[in-house]
Amino acid sequence: MPEIKTDNVQIALVTGASRGIGKAIARALAGTGRFVYLNFNSNLEKADAVLEDIISSGGNGALLQFDVSNREESEKAIKKIIKEQGKIDILVNNAGIRDDMLMVWMKKENWQSVLDTNLTGFFNVTRLTVKNMLSKRFGRIINISSTSGQTGQAGQVNYSASKAGLIGATKALAREIAKRNITVNAVAPGFIETEMIDGLPVKEIAKTIPAGRLGKPSEVAAAVLFLCSKDAGYITGQVIGINGGVL
Ligand code: NAP
């Protein structure tokens, strides 16, 4: 990967960019001229296809494999970006997993793995990024939460807890760093057509959504793109629902 001089170009990191919502966000950011680091956990083939697609559309970026639940790996990756580019302007904490079951059947590992990825992953990736943003006096952080974290969802005590935690972290961090021109917001998607909802009764779910359909990854990406814009500079500590009207 040749080192690219990106002095006037915004540098973005999207975690979980190999598939689904993260892929759509990475494409949207690259499509608007940002240099995008595409993080993934294990799916190199899919991540590579996203990067190929971005480059063939005239955009630019690089792959960056690490496990967000692993603090050492995450901090090493952030240091690598800062070494290569000097800054991170945009961070989208999107990587996430679910492991649904009723609380009575839930084992400690089902709880821990979801919290480690969805919530501690935010801490692992964001801490050093914020340090860099503070020194540059600019930043946009967007955390991908969920309707499940706003209302609670039966069968998702672990997932709802992680996504509600992310909302609390978003609001607290926004207050800490607002004066330095850094905004921190969350988006809370409802049901979005990605691999994450494979196996769910989609037709039945659609009947419960006022819009009568599931959302598309590009519809989440559009909101993230706006939150990254200059015009969104006075929006911080907010949670934007993208859910077809369920909430
Ligand atoms: P998805 O299709 O399952 O994709 C998940 C992405 O996260 C993949 O790129 C995956 O990488 C990455 N990932 C998972 N664990 C990781 C880890 N430990 N370290 C680094 N990357 C990791 O999911 P999605 O539906 O696009 O969801 C994206 C985000 O939106 C998640 O936070 C999810 O909770 C949230 N969300 C989704 C929905 C929905 O209906 N789809 C609704 C509300 C919120 P690999 O490909 O390498 O495994």
Nearest atom in ligand 1 to the alpha carbon of residue 68 is 19
Helices (H), ranges, 86-180: 108-115, 121-136, 147-151, 157-177
pLDDT at position 132: 98
Considering the four listed CATH numbers 1.10.1270.20, 3.30.930.10, 3.40.50.720, 3.40.190.10, the one that applies to the domain covering 11-191+217-241 is: 3.40.50.720
C-alpha closest to that of 191 among 129, 125, 243: 243
Is 24's C-beta closer than 6 angstroms to any atom of ligand 1? no
Give dist(CA 99, CA 156) in Å, integer.
8
Percent with pLDDT over 70 in the chain: 97
Mutational pocket test of ligand 1: of 113, 156, 194, the residue with most ligand atoms within 8 Å of the beta carbon: 194
Write down the pTM of the prediction.
Answer: 0.98
pLDDT at position 134: 98
pLDDT tens readout for residues 186-197: 999 999 999 999
Domain locations along the chain: 11-191+217-241
Question: Kind and range of the H or E element at 139?
Answer: strand 139-144
Nearest atom in ligand 1 to the alpha carbon of residue 116 is 18
Supply the residues annotated as catalytic: 159
Written as six digits, the tokens of 138 are: 């600019």
Q: Is 90 exceeded by the pLDDT of residue 5?
A: no
Give dist(CA 173, CA 150) in Å, integer.
18
pLDDT tens readout for residues 55-86: 999 999 999 999 999 999 999 999 999 999 99
Q: Ligand 1 centroid to 68 CA: how many Å? A: 11
pLDDT tens readout for residues 193-224: 999 999 999 999 999 999 999 999 999 999 99
The sign of the torsion formed by the CA atoms of 207, 243, 149, 99 equals positive
DSSP string for residues in 11-40: EEEESS-SSHHHHHHHHHHHHTT-EEEEEE
